[in-house]
A = this chain, B = another copy of it.
Amino acid sequence: MRGPRSIKVLDKGFVRLVEFMGGDVGVVAAARVCTGTGSKGETNDRRLIAYLITHQHLTPFEHSVFKFHVACPIFVMRQWIRHRSSSYNEISARYTEAKDEFYAPRAWRTPDARDKQSSGAAPGVDQARCARLLKRAYAEAYAAYRQLLGLGVARELARLVMPVGIYTQFYWTVNARNLMHFINLRADSHAQWEIQRYAEALAGFLAARMPWTWEAFLRHGWTGTNGKLDDMKRLVSSA
């Protein structure tokens, strides 16, 4: 058992691991080509991985590759795609009709929320009213979309009215080096709460498939703050 194939994220999203290559052993093999040797047993290999991360020798991690299938809202995807050293294929709203799938927050946050990671509803905000407003806005937008299609308009134009809260899907192929970088930036409490949840899911896959790398990353490579990851780091460090 190597961990789950798919992890649910937000209300209707997911991250699914489609394929994977390399792993901890692949990192060791790529690093040891530099010195002309191979694996030297788990203890030595784990120490090597820790050394590589501590000293930012990150190219050996490029030889382990994850392919994910992701469903997330457009505004999340727009933050995601800033990570240019990886490969994307997204569902096209020019060639397919957009589905009525929108993201609704469980809790509405205020601009000055202290604990930006918290999913707790901001006390000063009328949660129910916000939820109703959002629902109506989504419904109006989707109705306009359907009406424009009904009037014979091309999908690529009808979608102009579509809110960035709508779900999209894409394939994402990324190596372990860039995945760690993604987690550092996007699981961090300064990132938007929604993409933090995706970064945590991705971290779950990294942990399941590359446990030595994951432990070394938590100890020596993780530069952010995130309740879950910080707890895991404490656990690992006290072991």
Task: Give me the interface of A with B, judged by CB distance under 8 Å.
Answer: 18-22, 26, 29-31, 33-36, 55-56, 59-60, 62-63, 65, 67, 69, 73-75, 78, 81-82, 84-85, 87-96, 102-103, 105, 108-111, 113, 122, 124-126, 129-130, 133-134, 136-138, 140-141, 144, 147-148, 151-157, 159-165, 169-171, 173, 175, 185, 190, 192, 223
Residues of B within 8 A of A173 (CB): 62-63, 65, 175
For the complex, give the distance between the alpha carbons of A190 and B52 in Å. Answer: 13
Q: Are B151 and A111 in contact (CB under 8 A)?
A: no
A160 and B89 contact, Cβ closer than 8 Å, known pairs A136-B144, A151-B129, A152-B124: no
For the complex, give the distance between the alpha carbons of A109 and B148 in Å. Answer: 11
Residues of B within 8 A of A124 (CB): 152
Q: Are A63 and B91 in contact (CB under 8 A)?
A: no
For the complex, give the distance between the alpha carbons of A170 and B22 in Å. Answer: 16
For the complex, give the distance between the alpha carbons of A91 and B156 in Å. Answer: 24
30 contacts between A and B (CB under 8 A): A19-B21, A20-B21, A21-B21, A21-B67, A26-B67, A34-B89, A34-B91, A36-B96, A56-B223, A59-B82, A63-B89, A63-B171, A63-B173, A75-B93, A78-B78, A81-B82, A102-B160, A108-B151, A108-B153, A108-B157, A110-B152, A113-B154, A125-B153, A126-B151, A129-B151, A133-B147, A134-B161, A141-B141, A159-B164, A160-B163
